[in-house]
Amino acid sequence: MGPVLVLAPSALLALVLMLLVPGSAGGESAEPPNQQEPLPEPPKCKVTGSLLKFAGFSPDKKEFYVNETASVSCQKIKEREVYEAVCVAEGEGAAWDLSRVPCLRCQELKAWDGRLDWTPRALTFAPGETLSLTCAEGFRPVPESVRCVEKTNRFGWNVTPVCQAEEGSSVPPPWTSPEPGPPLTTPGGSCSRAEWPPSISADEPYNKETFAIGEWVWVSCRSEQYVGRRSRIACIKKDGHPEWDTSGLQCVEKPRVSKEDLQASASSIRLRWGCSPPGPCPGWTFQGSCQLNRSPHESCKRHRWRRLSTSTQNQTLHCDGLAPSSSYHVIVYGVHAKVDRQVLYEEDILTQDGVPDAPERGSLDLSSRVLRWRPPSPCKGAILGYQVNVTGRRAYNTTFLEEEQVRVNDSVTEFQKEPWRPGTNYTVTVQALTAAGAGQELRWEMETGIAEPFIPPGARALEVHNISASDGTVFLRLEPLPDLHGPIREYQLFVAPHPEPAPNASACPSLQLRPFDPTDDKTYAAAVIPASNLTRPMGFVVGDGRDRHGLFNAPLHEGRNYTVLLRVVSRWNQEETSSCVAYDFSMGRAHLAGEGEGEGGGVLWPLPLLLTCLLLTLALALLLLLGLLMARSVLGGGGGGKG
């Protein structure tokens, strides 16, 4: 029996951990937990130098993600047109779908041999794509295929193919043109010009009606009814008889398209058309475009137009995202498998005016409250004028509302309201006007300060009813004043004894609320009446000897002259204003000094004096009447004695 290795428990535990933890054996460090591999870069389509050589891409960037669309403008194409290129997924990568961009594709050549045909059949072909060629009976293509390659300033075919006569063919090579030189004569006969299909006409003037076998003629499709590329037809001998070889002709009857309905808004154009004769225009599919012709102003941003394919079921073109008040050239294209894309209908259409943007904010003159603005962009239509809306409210008077709406012409760019009411919160908005209506608002918020309380002319805010010299009191009639210039907070009553110079209304605002002092004859405050306590006409007795909130209403002295002043105080947002009225009177009579600053007053007679005068007048009248009656009776008695 060999030796037995005995491990300590701690060593055994360490061995187990080395076997369980990856990387712990052999001195290698373990992978950090939760470490994730970086995500692969998403596939992108690149705008390489070969693409930029022939076209411009927008937006201007070098890489596009899958499903992103680029607007491509061809540099070598004179038409004002922008095409769409889409980045599509291709296997694990991405590639451009340039099927709609003609300058980045190879085109079928109109100058190719008219007897050629090729597969696959299309109008454009991708770079690197190969076409298999065939020719009419009796001919073979040279070469048998062509490939789309990049050339100096375009994409094109690596060679120009032709059809050559096969050996043993009845067509004598080489092909010859009937002009210049005399016509050829072939013993096998000739072909007549009268045998041409009705869809073609000669591309050049030929001064003869018959053509010998082996002669060829360039012809075009009659543009008034047919479309197709220029082709070449030849007079050949087939089955022992001369006839025209028209296998290369591809004239297709052009559909007649007419507008049935047109709807243009500020941002879209919807055009529906119909074919003549009525129907779906068999064999044709349609495309359309809206190309910007003219904006309302040079400063307007050019909106990109969007081209939408249409189906033969609805025959409707809808362009969206257009600029308002702009001219667009609307084109309906017809697409047929045998011919190039054809313009079937075109018209210049003007989009409607849009709702204008808000005017640009100008200056605000706080002293005169003149608001100024600048016209908005004219890109949504001609500015016809402006609408100014003024709304006034008062936080201290919820029933107050002032509204005003003013329209001015397009040359006016400022507004001044006459008048701005004091103590009012104003909201002023200005909207530009186009044919589409009022646009977005430019808004101002402002608050006017309060003004001196308004005392209506002729209104008797303070009325002396009675003077009691014995009691030292004067009865005043007070009425609440309207808060036209700000909220009325309180009414303050001052008493000025004479012979101190009598204060007038102009000195009233500077008076302090000084309590009565019996040691001097200075003006003192007799009472302060909160406006909340004077909501309807009421009476107040000056000199009643009462103390109100620290102000003593001292009795008046008989035989002295006084001036009573009423100060109306308005206070709002830490701003205070006041207006005053003053009255002069003596304790034997009352004299109205005036209401408001600078106004004269009149004499007010006390009621007892008025009653006394009235009684004396009545007594005097009765005495006079009694004297007249007595004198009449005496004269009458004397006359009777004489008789």
Tell me the pLDDT band of 553, cut-offs 50, 70 and 90. very high
324/418 same-domain check: no
Q: Write down the pLDDT at residue 633.
A: 74
| Pairing, β 339-350 against β 385-394 | unpaired
Q: If you average pLDDT over every residue of the chain, what do you get?
A: 77
Q: Write down the pLDDT at residue 482.
A: 87
324/392 same-domain check: no
- Asked whether the predicted pLDDT for residue 541 surpasses 50, the reply is yes
- Whichever domain contains 408, its CATH number is 2.60.40.10
473/566 same-domain check: yes
**Single residue among 315, 350, 385 that ends a domain in this structure:** 350
What is the 3-state secondary structure of 247-289? CCCCCEECCEEEEEEEEECCCEEEEEEEEECCCCCCCCEEEEE
Of residues 602 and 621, more confidence is placed in 621
Tell me the pLDDT band of 465, cut-offs 50, 70 and 90. low
- Asked whether the predicted pLDDT for residue 169 surpasses 90, the reply is no
- Asked whether the predicted pLDDT for residue 280 surpasses 90, the reply is no
Among residues 437, 433, 300, 446, the alpha carbon closest in space to that of 375 is found at 433
Would you say 105 and 128 are in contact if contact means Cβ atoms under 8 Å apart?
A: no
**Ramachandran class of 480: left when φ > 0, alpha when ψ lies in -120 to 50, beta otherwise:** beta
The CA-atom distances, in angstroms, between 535 and each of 126, 423, 464, 549, 564 are 93, 20, 19, 20, 21
Among residues 326, 320, 321, the alpha carbon closest in space to that of 300 is found at 326
528/429 same-domain check: no
Query: Residue 398 falls within a domain, yes or no?
Result: yes
**Single residue among 332, 350, 368 that ends a domain in this structure:** 350
413/481 same-domain check: no
476/435 same-domain check: no
Of residues 513 and 91, more confidence is placed in 513
Query: Residue 166 falls within a domain, yes or no?
Result: no
407/313 same-domain check: no
Average pLDDT over residues 557-574: 88
Q: Write down the pLDDT at residue 24.
A: 43
Q: Write down the pLDDT at residue 430.
A: 96
DSSP 52: H
Q: Residue 625: count other Cβ atoms within 10 Å of its Cβ.
A: 10
Q: Write down the pLDDT at residue 490.
A: 93
342/383 same-domain check: no
Give the contacts of 186 (CB within 8 A, at least 6 positions apart): 172, 212, 213, 214
Query: Residue 163 falls within a domain, yes or no?
Result: no
The CA-atom distances, in angstroms, between 278 and each of 224, 256, 257, 272, 637 are 19, 10, 10, 13, 136
Share of the chain above pLDDT 70, in %: 77
- Asked whether the predicted pLDDT for residue 289 surpasses 60, the reply is yes
Tell me the pLDDT band of 610, cut-offs 50, 70 and 90. low
Longest dimension (CA), the chain: 204
DSSP 101: -
Tell me the pLDDT band of 308, cut-offs 50, 70 and 90. very low
Average pLDDT over residues 120-133: 82
φ, ψ of residue 434 to 5 degrees: the values are -125, -175
Among residues 199, 203, 245, the alpha carbon closest in space to that of 226 is found at 199
Q: Write down the pLDDT at residue 530.
A: 94
Model pLDDT for residues 228-264, shown as the tens digit of each residue:
877 888 888 888 888 888 887 878 888 888 888 899 9
The total domain count for the chain is 4
Of residues 274 and 553, more confidence is placed in 553
Model pLDDT for residues 176-225, shown as the tens digit of each residue:
444 433 444 445 578 998 888 888 888 777 778 888 887 888 888 888 88
The percent helix, strand, coil of the chain (3-state, each to 5) is 10, 45, 45
The H or E element containing residue 15 is: helix 9-20
Would you say 349 and 269 are in contact if contact means Cβ atoms under 8 Å apart?
A: yes
Q: Write down the pLDDT at residue 642.
A: 41
Would you say 478 and 529 are in contact if contact means Cβ atoms under 8 Å apart?
A: yes
- Of the listed ranges 266-280, 545-559, 626-640, the one predicted with least confidence: 626-640
Q: Write down the pLDDT at residue 359.
A: 94
Query: Residue 634 falls within a domain, yes or no?
Result: no
Q: What would the two tokens of residue 192 be?
A: 């007549």
Among residues 425, 449, 560, 578, the alpha carbon closest in space to that of 497 is found at 560
Would you say 80 and 291 are in contact if contact means Cβ atoms under 8 Å apart?
A: yes
- Asked whether the predicted pLDDT for residue 549 surpasses 70, the reply is yes
- Asked whether the predicted pLDDT for residue 441 surpasses 60, the reply is yes
Query: Residue 393 falls within a domain, yes or no?
Result: yes
- Of the listed ranges 66-80, 342-356, 627-641, the one predicted with least confidence: 627-641
Angle (nearest 5°) at CA 222 between 221 and 226: 75
**Single residue among 297, 318, 350 that ends a domain in this structure:** 350
Q: Write down the pLDDT at residue 455.
A: 80
573/480 same-domain check: yes
Query: Residue 318 falls within a domain, yes or no?
Result: yes
> How far apart are the C-alpha atoms of 360 and 365, rounded to whole Å?
16
Q: Write down the pLDDT at residue 350.
A: 92
424/538 same-domain check: no
Angle (nearest 5°) at CA 570 between 564 and 576: 105
323/267 same-domain check: yes
| Pairing, β 590-594 against β 603-604 | antiparallel
Q: Write down the pLDDT at residue 609.
A: 53
> How far apart are the C-alpha atoms of 587 and 543, rounded to whole Å?
12
Report, in angstroms and rounded to the nearest whole number, the Rg of the chain calculated over CA atoms: 54
Q: Is 327 exposed, middle or buried (0-12, 13-18, 19+ CB in 10 A)?
A: middle
Query: Residue 221 falls within a domain, yes or no?
Result: no
Query: Residue 617 falls within a domain, yes or no?
Result: no
> How far apart are the C-alpha atoms of 474 and 467, rounded to whole Å?
5
- Asked whether the predicted pLDDT for residue 591 surpasses 80, the reply is no
- Of the listed ranges 56-65, 114-123, 130-139, 409-418, the one predicted with least confidence: 114-123
Average pLDDT over residues 451-478: 75
* 496: containing domain: 462-608
475/527 same-domain check: yes
Of residues 560 and 312, more confidence is placed in 560
Angle (nearest 5°) at CA 425 between 421 and 426: 80
- Of the listed ranges 302-306, 351-355, 473-477, the one predicted with least confidence: 302-306
Give the contacts of 20 (CB within 8 A, at least 6 positions apart): none
